[in-house]
Structure 1
Amino acid sequence: MSSPTKQEEKGKKADISLDLLRMQVIENPDVILVTNVLIGTNFLSWSQSMKIALRTKMKLGFITRSNPKPPENSEEYEQWIRTDSLVISWILNTISKDIILSFLYIDNAREPCLETEAKYGVSNGPLVYQLQREIASASQGTLSVSAYF
């Protein structure tokens, strides 16, 4: 069996790229992908839920940039913009109304993820230390664990 030519390989890559840009009828801007709305303090669980949901829709590449924006003169450009806008709407649908205003003026689907990570994904060292101290000093008196619970 002969190996595929460079032209055939290029065609396969184009097909894969177009598959990632293809939208199904049920994929519309009103879809809510995850039930836990981002309120800030739940960033880690929200982020993981969004990654899973976007991966199932084959749209995670718009966040990770493994599916980069094509050149403006390419035939995939308009479809990429439409699909990226769809991903933006899915993300915005899962952000609390209290904090959504800071995310409305974004240019691509990667931006809200970077902004939320910068705002809410940062570890709070003093709080972690305080909680660890409280856990370490917690006691149940003289009772055994089984008797206490």
Structure 2
Amino acid sequence: MGDERSKKEKGASQSDPLGLHHSDHLGLVLVSKPLEGNNYGQWNHAMRIALSAKNKIGFINGTIKKPEDNDDTFQTWERCNHMVLSWILNSVDSNIAGSIIYIESANDVCNDLKGRFSQGNDSRIFEIRQEITELRQGHQSASIYYTKMKPLWDELYSYHDPITCTCDGFKGLVEREEKE
């Protein structure tokens, strides 16, 4: 019975967004390529995956709200928020880090970065389409060529809002896009 309770307590702490794992530390780098400005879409996606895996996505999407200063959970929230801020600072170029170092919440930092770097989506979409057009298989194997092409298509797709339509015309559009 005691073993069952300790397992449940362990599971509960791992699922608590205000909990920290013993491997979490301020110097942790969550993404392999830092934000340099022109790679915001890829960086943002990778960072969201990493923070979701650590059960901290709520700190950047605003679902984990800052409690009042006199709330019992304030210090725990602040500690986790600072941890997430540290992870973000570790995953951006030093010039970008200098421009966000004084922002107090992870959510505000992410909103600031989105406001600055997601504005260039149209130009990035153009660049991706140009790269796709210019990419040639040449003497490369089909798998190497596909490996270079797939991330371009995936990134391009990530810039488009999903279309919600259930009509037959939409099915044809999906099939056409798959063929492309």
Please report the TM-score for the alignment, with normalisation by the length of structure 2. 0.60
Alignment of structure 1 residues 55-134 onto 2, 5 Å: 55-123=52-120, 125=122
Distance 1:102-1:73 versus aligned 2 partners, 3 A rule: same
Q: Give the corresponding residue for 1:11.
A: none
Structure ranking higher on relative contact order (CA contacts 8 Å, 6+ apart): 1
Amino acid at match of 2:89: L
Q: Write the distance in 1 (CA, Å) between the matches of 2:54 and 2:131.
A: 42
Return 123-132 or 21-30, whichever deviates more: 123-132
Instruction: Give the match's secondary structure for 1:68.
Output: coil
| Residues 1:46 and 2:66 are matched in the alignment | no
CA gap 1:32/1:72 in 2 versus in 1, 3 angstroms: same
One-letter amino acid of the counterpart of residue 60, structure 1: I
Counterpart check, 1:35 vs 2:32: yes
Gaps of 5+ in 2: 1-11, 137-144, 146-180
Kindly indicate which of the two structures has a greater share of residues assigned to helix: 2
What does the per-residue CA deviation read over 1:6-45, in whole Å, with 9 as the maximum and x for residues that have no partner? xxxxxxxxx78x9211111111111101111000000000
What 5-or-longer segments of structure 1 have no aligned partner? 1-14, 141-148
**CA distance change for structure 1 residues 49 and 126 in 2, over 3 Å: closer, same or farther?**
closer
Aligned pairs for 1:5-24 (under 5 A) are 19-24=16-21
Q: In percent, how many aligned pairs have the same letter?
A: 30
Amino acid at match of 1:32: V
**Deviation, structure 1 residue 99:** 2.3
Aligned length: 124
Instruction: Name the SS for the 1:53 alignment partner.
Output: helix
Change in CA separation of 1:134 and 1:58 when aligned onto 2, cut-off 3 Å: closer
Report the aligned-residue RMSD: 2.8
Larger Rg: 1
* TM-score of the aligned structures, taking structure 1 as reference length: 0.72
